[in-house]
Amino acid sequence: MIRWGIQNNKQRFKCKTCGLLFTWTNKAVMETNRFVWFKKWVIGRQTLQQIRKESGYSISTLKRYFYKYLDKPPQWKVYPSVKVNLIIDGTYFSKDLCLIIYRDSSLKFTQLYRITNGEWYDELKEDLENLHTLGVKIESITCDGHRAILKAVRSSCQEATLQRCLVHIQRMCRIWLTTRPLSDAGKELRTIISQLHLIKTKLERDYWIVALVKWYEKHHLFVNEKSFQPTSKRYWYKHKLVRRSFMTIKNALPNMFHYLDNPRIPKTTNSLESFFGHLKNHLTIHRGLSESHRKKFLQWYLRFNNE
């Protein structure tokens, strides 16, 4: 048997005895190659047209192979470890599809995920309890301050340090105060909030808190001023957005600066927000998938990203 050229990107052979021409097919190798193309499709940002040119398969054949893999989601494995600094956050897709991720900040590893329709307390509590049962010892949890997450952490992980995302606090206060506040209190508070993400030492933290306290002593009458609301027929705070910004900071203050005591604790959820951005870009490239296949695509993407 000798080599006899290439046919359809495959090595062709010839039998020297009978003259028969044939190509060698190894099903195990063939299946491995198909899975390599599937991985490039999921995490390599390659479209079906690009893979068709490289692989030699038709688009209909690639769809048949890829949808076969999508119908069998991967088995998930949790990595048991100690002193895990988790980042918890959720992102929403169309049709009430919500992906919640529990990501190890130090390892850049997704310990657990849940595909659901919202951030619910019961599900979050169950996930945290499952992580503890599977050997993940949580040292800290960084989150954006969603009520369901805060409640689940306080009930299931009382020993863990709760760190509020500084960027999220800063962003929400800027939205409420607007770019150009009309009141002097709003302008001064926006200036104070703009310095929040720059705090790197305990001394800077103390100066920042002193500035906030002095601001409140100066504008407490303005913040607590009430007026009659015709719609609700009761007296309520007149300057709602300024007060909401201040109360958000006041309520989060006990859990805002734990990262200064432990450098391993992430002070923001920015790394997970970036991860969500890349994930959505990959999913947008393959738009047109059914809702079921979209969910399976997310599972395979998380699996490949962990690898």
pLDDT of residue 20 exceeding 80, the answer is no
Q: What share of the chain is helix, strand, coil (3-state, %, to 5)?
A: 50, 20, 30
Residues 6+ apart with CB under 8 A from 251: none
Q: For the whole model, what pTM was predicted?
A: 0.85
- State the Cα–Cα distance between residues 159 and 240, nearest whole angstrom: 35
- State the Cα–Cα distance between residues 126 and 83, nearest whole angstrom: 20
Per-residue CA distances from 15 to 18, 22, 23 (Å): 6, 8, 11
Residue 261: CA count within 13 A, CB half-sphere: 9
| 265 burial via Cβ count (<10 Å: 0-12, 13-18, 19+) | buried
Question: Degrees (nearest 5) of the Cα angle 150, 254, 241?
Answer: 80
Q: Average pLDDT of 31-48?
A: 88
Q: Tens digits of per-residue pLDDT, 50-81?
A: 999 888 889 999 999 999 999 988 888 888 99
- Under a CB-based contact definition with an 8 Å cutoff, are residues 153 and 143 in contact? yes
Strands 234-237 and 226-229: antiparallel
pLDDT of residue 9 exceeding 80, the answer is no
**For residue 14, what pLDDT is reported?**
84
**For residue 274, what pLDDT is reported?**
92
Q: Tens digits of per-residue pLDDT, 117-150?
A: 999 999 999 999 999 999 999 999 999 999 999 9
- State the Cα–Cα distance between residues 54 and 46, nearest whole angstrom: 10
- State the Cα–Cα distance between residues 252 and 256, nearest whole angstrom: 6
Q: What type of residue is 87?
A: I
Measure the CA dihedral 180/184/189/195, to 10°. Answer: 70
Q: Average pLDDT of 102-131?
A: 93
Q: Average pLDDT of 97-103?
A: 94
- State the Cα–Cα distance between residues 257 and 267, nearest whole angstrom: 8
Tokens 């044939």, residue? 22
- State the Cα–Cα distance between residues 62 and 12, nearest whole angstrom: 23
**For residue 29, what pLDDT is reported?**
65
Q: Among 29-38, 65-74, 187-196, 234-243, which range has the highest average pLDDT?
A: 187-196
- Report the chain's terminal Cα–Cα distance, integer Å: 41
> Residue 140, SS3?
strand
Q: Average pLDDT of 97-119?
A: 93
- State the Cα–Cα distance between residues 199 and 257, nearest whole angstrom: 9
Q: Tens digits of per-residue pLDDT, 270-286?
A: 999 999 999 999 999 98
Mean pLDDT taken over the chain? 90
Q: What type of residue is 56?
A: G
Q: Average pLDDT of 171-191?
A: 93
> Residue 10 pairs with which residues in a beta bridge?
7
The sheet carrying 10-14 orders its strands as 2-7, 10-14, 21-23
